[in-house]
Structure 1
């Protein structure tokens, strides 16, 4: 039985019960009136008029209730079919309970629509994750397999065997980096990684981040220059904030040519501290500035595709900073490259 039919039967029963009660009360009133004054003029006419008026009033009230019911049922049926953008006539211009219910239903539809969009996006991101992981793992695994096969060849020289061993070691490092990054991502989203801000030296945190990428920068003859600033104690998680800075520095080194410089600048503001990391690399297209902080997003330029990565580093940076009340954005550098501008609050951030 359809919802409308069930509602019609329910409202019809309510109408009958209401008519029975009101008619009983009218008959009781007129019976008492008749007993008190048997000679009351136009008694039967008044009785029939009262019963008729009551019947008309009850029917009008019933029709109004039924229209309201149908109005709500229309929304619910559309929601069941997945049409969360369903709207009827402009109820917001009216007053009363119906317009209020309509407004609440529209808000509910917007919430459901947002939730569905999020679930669809999450599903697509999961598909992308599986594709990215398989792609990222396929390349180093295939290279490792080839290196070991060639090393087993008795015809190669010791020098060639050493070269293949070195290449294999490089692919193992890539696998280690990839698995660690994906593990951190999954732990962060599962709530297993807890950010615990505490008063700590900002300069020590930055030095810790620089030390994490120093060898990689040295291999490409890239200098990392930190402009001198007065150290300060900030409420932040030393480990994960250093991890965030290191991820930005790692990107700067990864996508910059040899012999360039990465600059780190710190400038205190009234309520927060401004940290800039500027590279002289390939730069980022303006339309990609917001996308680069999305999970699993990687640019389509050949220079980016040639480097290892899963597109989760900057996403983790954003998550770590925002958990502490900070932020991150990317802008174009004056001499090319990219400037990552990050903020951290001077006072402890309490997440609502």
Structure 2
């Protein structure tokens, strides 16, 4: 840098000498030569002063940029500072990009922390949910091996063990589904499909359970109702809500499925005559493994509604719930009418 400045200055001096020799030879005026020399060297000094000022300004810019990038690398987002140059437009653009980069990295950092917390919560939830059936299996296995029991009692124990294994299998299958949905391994394919057929598919999975409790299922939906949705996963979401309604409904009641087209969304109401949900739990029931205290005597793991919400949200829809204790609940599923 210094060698370059030196040669640049020498070149200007040589040019100046040649120019002033020309003045002497052409005008032969010493006063003109004197003022010309002063003016010329003043220009050189001003040029180098301004050049040094600009260089210093840009060196400050580079140092500040370097420090800001180091703070970003170290995720110390509060210390990312603004940058100053002589060009305000350039200054504004670079500042905007640096601050945007800081925001993106901060969001990524928070997202990574959130994912880590979710993973820890998931592991804790799985451990808690598997613990009870595993303990039951150990007790049943111990009774089966050590005890002198009749054939009938043995069959009863084996059936109980099968029930506990089914519970673990269902839990793990549900966890795999929810995890694959969360991390995007499952891609939902929204295409115009017959909603009536999707509802029928969901109902087919719970007919036997409904018949056991003599629960009537009534559907109010046009048979040719076309709506963009993922047929398989939407049926899964509706099945979970319907199954939940059957679990918490008394014998000899009714579940209604009503479809209504709104301007932007199609609303699917699933109305039961069950025990109802406390208002303070409306938001909690969609959390993974949440179970309301009064429902502990009902078989379940508390993941069905969580899965339903995940599936509907990934189709740009949402679920609302309304309920009255002792009278029943209404789950309203909203799906967009357009792709």
The alpha-carbon deviation at position 181 of structure 1 amounts to 1.3
How many angstroms apart in 1 are the aligned matches of 2:153 and 2:267? 50
The alpha-carbon deviation at position 293 of structure 1 amounts to 4.7
Query: Counterpart in 1 of 2:331?
Result: 340
Alignment of 1:194-213 (within 5 A): 194-213=187-206
Confirm or deny that 1:240 pairs with 2:233. yes
Q: Name the CA shift for 1:245/1:301 in 2 (closer, same or farther; >3 Å).
A: closer
Q: Name the CA shift for 1:73/1:339 in 2 (closer, same or farther; >3 Å).
A: farther
The alpha-carbon deviation at position 217 of structure 1 amounts to 4.2
How many angstroms apart in 1 are the aligned matches of 2:18 and 2:218? 99
Q: Name the CA shift for 1:153/1:85 in 2 (closer, same or farther; >3 Å).
A: same
The alpha-carbon deviation at position 327 of structure 1 amounts to 0.9
CA contact under 8 A between 1:136 and 1:310: conserved in structure 2?
no
Specify the SS of the correspondent of 1:332: strand
How many angstroms apart in 1 are the aligned matches of 2:261 and 2:188? 23
Query: Counterpart in 2 of 1:223?
Result: 215
Counterpart of 1:318 (choices 303, 309, 313) is 309
The alpha-carbon deviation at position 175 of structure 1 amounts to 1.7
The alpha-carbon deviation at position 339 of structure 1 amounts to 3.2
Q: Name the CA shift for 1:203/1:17 in 2 (closer, same or farther; >3 Å).
A: farther
How many angstroms apart in 1 are the aligned matches of 2:296 and 2:54? 69
Alignment of 1:41-190 (within 5 A): 41-86=34-79, 88=81, 95-189=88-182
Larger radius of gyration: 2
Query: Counterpart in 2 of 1:299?
Result: 290
The count of aligned residue pairs is 325
Could you state the TM-score of these two structures normalised by the residue count of structure 1? 0.78
How many angstroms apart in 1 are the aligned matches of 2:328 and 2:14? 91
CA-to-partner distance for each residue in 1:265-316, whole Å, 9 max, x for gaps? 2111234321122343452554762x6556xx333743466654264x3443
The alpha-carbon deviation at position 218 of structure 1 amounts to 4.6
The alpha-carbon deviation at position 170 of structure 1 amounts to 1.5
Query: Counterpart in 2 of 1:5?
Result: none
Specify the SS of the correspondent of 1:208: helix
Counterpart of 1:35 (choices 21, 26, 31) is 21
CA contact under 8 A between 2:278 and 2:324: conserved in structure 1?
no
Counterpart of 1:329 (choices 313, 319, 324) is 319
Q: Name the CA shift for 1:317/1:344 in 2 (closer, same or farther; >3 Å).
A: same
Please list every run of 5 or more consecutive structure 1 residues that lacks an aligned counterpart in the other structure.
1-12
Q: Name the CA shift for 1:215/1:151 in 2 (closer, same or farther; >3 Å).
A: farther
The alpha-carbon deviation at position 201 of structure 1 amounts to 2.4
CA contact under 8 A between 2:286 and 2:305: conserved in structure 1?
yes
CA contact under 8 A between 2:276 and 2:324: conserved in structure 1?
no
CA contact under 8 A between 1:222 and 1:253: conserved in structure 2?
no
How many angstroms apart in 1 are the aligned matches of 2:66 and 2:214? 66
The alpha-carbon deviation at position 245 of structure 1 amounts to 0.9
CA contact under 8 A between 2:216 and 2:254: conserved in structure 1?
yes
Q: Name the CA shift for 1:282/1:73 in 2 (closer, same or farther; >3 Å).
A: farther
Query: Counterpart in 1 of 2:277?
Result: 283
Q: Name the CA shift for 1:75/1:328 in 2 (closer, same or farther; >3 Å).
A: same
Q: Aligned-pair RMSD on alpha carbons? A: 3.2
